[in-house]
Amino acid sequence: MSRRKSRGRAGRRAQAASTRPAQVPKTRAARQPNRKLWWVAGAGLAAVIATLVVVATQRSAAPRAGAKPASAASDAVAGAFPRFRIADVRGRELTRPGGKPGLLIFTASYCKPCISQAPGVVRLKRRLGAGVEMLTLSVDPRDSAAAMAAAFGPIGGNTPGYELAVDRAGTLAPAFGVTSLGTEVVYDRRGREVWRGVLSPVSEIAAALQRAGA
């Protein structure tokens, strides 16, 4: 009896085992496609990131429209400045650029380094004569014609063409891109910028005026 029971149990176990789905062990070959998919996805993501970095670098390195080179390229001829009219310290109306090679000095009556430079500029004006126009301009709207005349007038004396003025509207310094007292701008007879500097030696100003056609 016990033998029959054991045989019956063994038969039922065999029947149950035959109905179970076969467990197939995963091999390296079965897992390999997943690894390949991960590798391909990772490589694609790296390529996209590298492309974005290159594009961002190119955009940051590209010069902005209208930006001026920050180097000795200030000697390059740029577009013509718009003409402006202004009253000098004597009340006479001046037009600049006025059709001649010229020099603009952006200053103030209290700029001591500018005052120290002025005698050399006056001598240069006397040497170049009427073929060059010069204007020493205070860019401080709070300045006065009397203060400018007192600071620079005795230096210029009666030198023809050595003009002094005050920009009471305060618009010319921004229009010419000036941010420092003592800035010099040289332009040619068509009003195009040829050179600019800040408290430069008069010899450099003279060389720039010569390039401008003086």
- Cα separation, 133 vs 142, in Å, equals 25
Q: DSSP H helical segments within the chain, as ranges? A: 2-19, 28-61, 112-128, 145-156, 172-175, 202-211
Task: Give the pLDDT score at 156.
Answer: 94
pLDDT tens, 84-101?
Answer: 999 999 999 999 999 999
| Element of type H or E holding 197 | strand 193-198
Which residues in 24-45 are b (16+ Cβ under 10 Å) and which e? eeeeeeeeeeeeeeeeeeeeee
The ranges assigned to domains in the chain are: 32-61, 77-211
What is the dihedral sign for C-alpha 35, 40, 41, 45?
positive
- Cα separation, 184 vs 200, in Å, equals 8
pLDDT tens, 34-63?
Answer: 555 444 455 555 444 444 433 333 333 333
3-state class of 104 per DSSP? strand
| Topology of the domain comprising 77-211 | Glutaredoxin (3.40.30)
Task: Give the pLDDT score at 184.
Answer: 98
- Cα separation, 6 vs 11, in Å, equals 9
pLDDT tens, 169-198?
Answer: 999 999 999 999 999 999 999 999 999 999
Token pair recorded at residue 118: 């002025």
- Cα separation, 165 vs 127, in Å, equals 22
Does residue 138 carry a pLDDT above 80? yes
Task: Give the pLDDT score at 142.
Answer: 97
Task: Give the pLDDT score at 79.
Answer: 76
**Do 143 and 152 touch, CB atoms closer than 8 A?**
no
For the full predicted model, state whether its pTM sits above 0.75: no
Task: Give the pLDDT score at 39.
Answer: 46
**Do 122 and 162 touch, CB atoms closer than 8 A?**
yes
